[in-house]
Chain A
Amino acid sequence: MTEQATLLDSPRMAKREPKPPGRTKSPRAGATAESMAEKQREISVSEFFAKNRHLLGFDNPRKALLTAVKEAVDNALDACEEANILPDILVELRALPEAGEDRFLVIVQDNGPGIVRRQIENIFGKLLYGSKFHRLKMSRGQQGIGISAAGMYGLITTGKPVRIISKTSPKKPAHEVVLKMDTSKNRADVVSETEHPEDDALFPDGRGTRIEIELVGKYLKGDRSVDQYIQLSAIANPHARFTYISPPTSALPEGEKTVFERGVDELPEPTEEIKPHPHGIELGTLIGMLERTTESQLGGFFANEFCRLTPKVGRDVAEQAKLTTRSWVKNIGHAEAEKLYKALQEAKVMAPPTNCLSPIGVRTMIKGLEQGLAPDFIAVSSRPPAVYRGRPFIIEAGVAFGGNLPAEDSAKVFRFANRVPLQYQQSACSSFKSVAETNWKSYGLQQPRGALPVGPLVVMIHMASVWVPFTSESKEAIADYDEIRKEMKLALMDCGRKLGTYLRKRAKMRRAGERRDIFRRYIGEVAKACEALSGADAKQVYEALLATAKTKTIESDQVLDEEGKVVAVKGGGDDETVYIRELDDDDSQPVEEAAATKKRPNTASGDSLFGEDDDASEIESPDTKPRRKAKKKVAKKKVVRKKKGG
């Protein structure tokens, strides 16, 4: 897996000096500083999280199962992408009824680069250990808590160690390590360590990592399930292939194997790591950076520890703080640091570079939604990069409408942060709020006040950033920054507009179809009456009128693709379908015909997301504006009216 051997200073939390515990009891008479000191000792971070496991997403057995899978899959995907390998991920939930009804063995295996032997204990056995925390680079994992916490949870609930099998090269044999976490010391004890050439068969690509955690969990389908997580991951990562084996249920005693094939064969653009942006740091961070830097002079510090801090801006900042670029870093005291910080915040600095971001991309999102949901219509929007607290981010949104999505329910919001599905705490998430705040009524959907729109709709929001601001360590909801919310709403509005156009087009087609039905019904009577009145040939009149009726209701013959574009016109009544290629300059993503018909083969189980509702009835567009009809005067005809009698 990806956690590399970069031994950096651990965060202060793990290293801090003994100090009074957070909740000090008021000293009673008799307690002395000495007696109290005996009880005061360091709290290991693992101990802390063992007690507060809900902070990491292990609140209940159901969520724990999901979190364990999620952390392992996130790591696997990150590792593969970093090693430039198209991910092929296997997830298996194996029920262990002999050990207990709620016992599961979670198996996650990837085809990534593998992990060198000496890092295994650190990565899987130590909390807050990893390669991702200290850098500003877009990745799924951030803190280096996840996978080791999953192992710790397994150990706490079942007493069973974690088993890791890794193969780093086709030439080297697979090695198996069984780890047991020592929570009081925040490190792992190796229970056993064996080389397993026979396990090589597990890794057909010659590389990869397999992790097996036994834990207490609860398997349920539906919202917030592992099934949903895999499906959502497949949507956001169409470049990955997922194989998922669900545990046996009463309906399927064998469990069910689902394969989500790749939608695209290209890896996301590799991302660059960036240095902190001057506007994205706080005073304490600055002081820490000054202490840690290997640079001796301020100029070098500016140039090498920050992004976008040009020599000129650096000189100005130093001047502002009554320093020079030649000032010695080690001589900068607290007061100077404070001045420096102020100067940095006030300086005009370019926005951070955005090559550190890898959005899913418009085409890939369409693929993902198309394969995952098979809707009638897809609109996606990718915003240009924006910045919050000096950290660049990109918002992407997509809507999928129609198909087999349930028409009567509220829309579903699929939330992603750096391609990781977020399934809990929906209402606390910035993305959810922005969906609810968008006025979907103006795009032809029903929407109860302040709630999600109603209809066969899925809204997808993805935030890509070097640091996604989660509301908690368990990474469930994106914090509500104004800049983020604004970008989300703009992206949603863009999608909404496209959806509105599509819905109007569809409503128009439906109306045209209805009109044609009505016209067709009466034309025969009119033709017969003409014959009876004037001896005209009824058949000739009928056919002429029918042809006119068809041209007047041509919209009902149109065939729309997933992006709502007219791709074909059906020949009236016959099977012939005339395909027309619309040249639309506004839209740069024409969809190939092949894409319109290609279906991801194994999406059947994914339908459980939406229940069994097959009713895909349409939403009535509220715009019932009377159709402006082009009044044609050509056919105007006067019937001479004579005044009689009198």
Chain B
Amino acid sequence: MAKKTTRKTSRTPASSTPGKPRSTDKATIANLERLGSTVAKVSVSGKDPIVDVPTRTLSNTSFNKRKRTLEMGDATQQRELFNLNQAKKFMQTMLLASGTKELVEAGKTTSLRGMYYKCLHTIAGTKEKTLGDQSESDAVLEDLEVMLGSLREELHLFAKKAGTMVGNITVIDSGDEIDCRRMGSGGYAIPSIVEPDILQFKKCDAKFVLHVEKNTVWSRFNEDKFWQKHNCILTEGGGQPPRGVRRLLRRLHDELKLPVYCLLDCDPWGHYIYSVIKQGSINLAFESERMAVPDAKFLGIRALDYDRCELTDDVQIALNDRDTSRAKQIAAYPWFAQNKPWQMEIAKMLKNGFKMEVESLITKDISYVTEVYVPERLRERDWLD
């Protein structure tokens, strides 16, 4: 898919309906107002202005065994204006909050990058800019989401698109009917916001969803018309899937009852992508309730595929120290720790001493993965859960 930077995206879901307030806007504005008035009141009384930001780390994340998703705990971090390390972040928090309020009040939507530019200016009397690069504002906006308890779309923000879909389904995106069977070689770009008020499912014949890690593999499946032959939906998330893709998978699974299968690399990175799709991410644990797909299955690549598929030495990519420690870290996550097959899978990979990408199957045959590997796994119901 063509890389579209959000800056250029003029046609966004919400911008098609400018000025139309969302149902949640009132509450969002009230929250933002409360933030401003509290800081102002504390400041005027001569005390230190402090905001509490929920902690987004593993230590503040717990695994809900019943729901099989990650949940964020109650721990918060104080962000102080009069603390050398936090002063700038405090200022950015307030700045972006006021920017967001303006956006919501105007009933407009913008990208994360748009928001970055909206709040970017040189601080009066200095040469310093309010924001360094976009990653700074992105992080603060995530903080704002959890602080205010508002989702990103409730703040009228969206991320850049990074996800593609094709398959036996017709959707309505902002009023436009899109037949995902007729998307050519590029596929349907999954938008950042896929809530029911933007995206509705119209007609679905597919029986399952196959999510692959990245675009190159997805193109192979699309070219081989895998989704036609096997009657499925084919999605791709460009590595770690963005929230739009995860939310879409969740909706396909929940509303259309489609099982979700993942085809990811055999490395810690691939394992964590699976973990995020299944349980939610640590960073955005507060959103896993509406994003996680606890029933998602891991088809491959498996550590045993090197022998099973009789691959050659050429496909081996040696594990480096970081990979090894990351693999051990993942194995220790509470949601993996009790999972015996997964413990064996990671142990096997560590024992192999190398990782493998999905593309390594091309060494067998260009279409081995679509014609043999995935059909076989599905037929034999051979996957990790």
Contacts and interface: CB of A to CB of B under 8 A. Distances in A.
A485 B190 CA distance: 81
A632 B47 contact: yes
A39 interface: no
Contacts, number: 147
A99 interface: no
B124 interface: yes
B51 A639 contact: yes
Interface in A622-646: 629, 632, 634-646
Given A519-B82, A532-B36, A641 B43 contact: no
B234 interface: no
Given A521-B128, A644-B151, A635 B42 contact: yes
Interface string B28-64: 0001111111111111111111111010000000000
A526 B149 contact: no
B52 A639 contact: yes
Contacts of B24: 644
A532 B104 CA distance: 13
A641 B149 contact: yes
A33 interface: no
Nearest to A637: B38
A255 interface: no
A548 interface: yes
B166 to A, nearest CB: 27
B309 interface: no
Contact of A544 (B43, B91, B149): B43
Contacts of B252: none
Q: Which of B38, B39, B78, B148 has the most CB of A within 10 A?
A: B39
A575 to B, nearest CB: 21
Interface in B141-177: 146-151, 154
Nearest to A638: B52
B289 interface: yes
B48 A635 contact: yes
A556 to B, nearest CB: 13
Contacts of B90: 522, 526
Nearest to A627: B84
Interface in A510-547: 514-515, 518-519, 521-536, 540-541, 544-545, 547
A85 interface: no
B40 A534 contact: yes
Contacts of A548: 43, 46-48, 82
A552 interface: yes
Given A548-B47, A646-B290, A525 B52 contact: no
Contacts of A526: 39, 43, 49, 81, 90-91, 94-95
B281 to A, nearest CB: 15
A640 B83 CA distance: 23
A522 B35 contact: no
A545 B49 contact: yes
A634 B50 CA distance: 10
B101 A641 contact: no
Interface residues of B, number: 56
B95 A637 contact: no
Given A547-B46, A549-B82, A644 B101 contact: no
B372 interface: no
A531 B95 CA distance: 11
Contacts of B87: 518-519, 522
B250 to A, nearest CB: 11
Contact of B126 (A514, A521, A552): A521
Interface string B265-293: 00000000000000000000011011000
Contacts of A629: 83
Contact of B101 (A532, A638, A643, A645): A532
A531 B151 CA distance: 24
B98 interface: yes
Interface core residue of B47, B82, B124, B154 (most chain A CB under 10 Å)? B82
A643 B149 contact: yes
Interface string A45-77: 000000000000000000000000000000000
Nearest to A511: B84
Contact of A637 (B36, B52, B54, B151): B52
A527 B102 CA distance: 16
Contacts of B349: none
Contacts of B95: 525-526, 529
A173 B44 CA distance: 85
A639 B82 contact: no
A519 B125 CA distance: 13
Of B78, B98, B124, chain A has the most CB atoms within 10 Å of the CB of: B98
B33 A524 contact: no
A619 B87 CA distance: 27
A643 B148 CA distance: 9
B306 to A, nearest CB: 41
B88 interface: yes
B370 interface: no
B374 interface: no
Contacts of A549: 82
Contact of B44 (A525, A541, A636): A541
A206 to B, nearest CB: 68
Nearest to A543: B44
B130 interface: yes
B97 interface: yes
Contact of B50 (A521, A530, A532, A637): A637
Contact of A641 (B123, B148, B289): B148
A532 B33 CA distance: 9
B155 to A, nearest CB: 11
A534 B148 contact: no
B49 A635 contact: yes
Contacts of B286: 643
A536 B54 CA distance: 25
Nearest to A646: B289
17 contacts: A522-B88, A531-B40, A533-B32, A533-B36, A533-B98, A534-B40, A544-B45, A544-B46, A545-B43, A634-B48, A635-B48, A637-B50, A639-B148, A643-B286, A643-B289, A644-B154, A645-B289
- A-B interface, 7 closest residue pairs, ranked by CB to CB distance from nearest: A533-B36, A534-B36, A536-B40, A642-B149, A534-B37, A529-B94, A646-B289
Given A526-B94, A533-B32, A641-B54, 16 more contacts: A521-B126, A522-B81, A522-B87, A529-B94, A530-B43, A531-B40, A533-B37, A544-B43, A544-B46, A549-B82, A635-B47, A637-B52, A638-B52, A639-B38, A643-B286, A645-B290
Interface of B: 24, 31-52, 54, 78, 81-84, 87-88, 90-91, 94-95, 97-98, 101-102, 123-126, 128, 130, 146-151, 154, 286-287, 289-290
Interface of A: 514-515, 518-519, 521-536, 540-541, 544-545, 547-549, 552, 629, 632, 634-646
